[in-house]
Chain A
Amino acid sequence: GEDVEQSLFLSVREGDSSVINCTYTDSSSTYLYWYKQEPGAGLQLLTYIFSNMDMKQDQRLTVLLNKKDKHLSLRIADTQTGDSAIYFCAEAPLVGSGTYKYIFGTGTRLKVLA
């Protein structure tokens, strides 16, 4: 099936680390993505990881990829109130036409408490 699963809610205190988890289904995805959606806005790409990598660090963001378990996680260090948003992971398997089909998770709503 094409289900990308995430936990629905996460609440952390400002300054703590946040870890958002995702389980995907298609092992052929070349890239895996994390998008952020703020209220009333479209999705914005936060970071991505190439499928032959285990880890990628980008400033406060760390992405971990476990291909064997098809598990992806996003860690946000020193979480700020401005990080409060919905976070979506996405897989993008290559389809027959030579383009990528994006499949988004259900989204994790992160609430940062001051």
Chain B
Amino acid sequence: EAGVAQSPRYKIIEKRQSVAFWCNPISGHATLYWYQQILGQGPKLLIQFQNNGVVDDSQLPKDRFSAERLKGVDSTLKIQPAKLEDSAVYLCASSARGLAGLRYNEQFFGPGTRLTVL
């Protein structure tokens, strides 16, 4: 089974520029998450999709961050304009929903995109 794919793996931009990240979840997974992980901290949820609808975006800085999940599969996260404090690793994860068993809400993580804002 293929894992969660993310691209690019690394991105360096200057402040006030725009950047976009892409995520392809595990096939058939209904739930997709974007996390921001600042160096030395745990992942912080930015946005959670259930199919192509937003479940939780309470911690997404909506003045500069946006995300969409096309047709309930792939997702993109955009930052426009970027600030220095946006330097972090952006992790995408997906989970299945509705499967029997105790592990049905296990999240599977991609390798992340490391963003450096100069």
Contact = CB atoms under 8 A, between A and B. Distances in A.
Interface of A: 4, 31, 40-45, 48, 50, 88, 92, 95, 97, 99-107
Contacts of A43: 43, 91, 93, 107, 109
A23 B111 CA distance: 27
Given A104-B42, A105-B42, A99 B107 contact: no
Interface string B69-97: 00000000000000000000001010001
Task: Give the interface centre of B4, B55, B106 by most chain A CB atoms within 10 Å.
Answer: B55
Interface residues of B, number: 27
Contacts of A95: 55-56
A42 B50 contact: no
Contact of B109 (A44, A92, A105): A44
A5 to B, nearest CB: 10
B42 A45 contact: no
A31 B42 CA distance: 18
Contact of B110 (A42, A101, A102): A42
B6 to A, nearest CB: 8
A97 B31 CA distance: 12
A99 B48 contact: yes
Nearest to B30: A99
A50 B102 contact: yes
A40 B111 contact: yes
Contacts of A48: 102-103, 106
Nearest to A107: B42
Nearest to B6: A42
B45 interface: yes
Given A88-B42, A106-B41, A107-B42, A41 B33 contact: no
A103 B31 CA distance: 16
A66 to B, nearest CB: 20
B51 to A, nearest CB: 11
Contacts of B35: 104
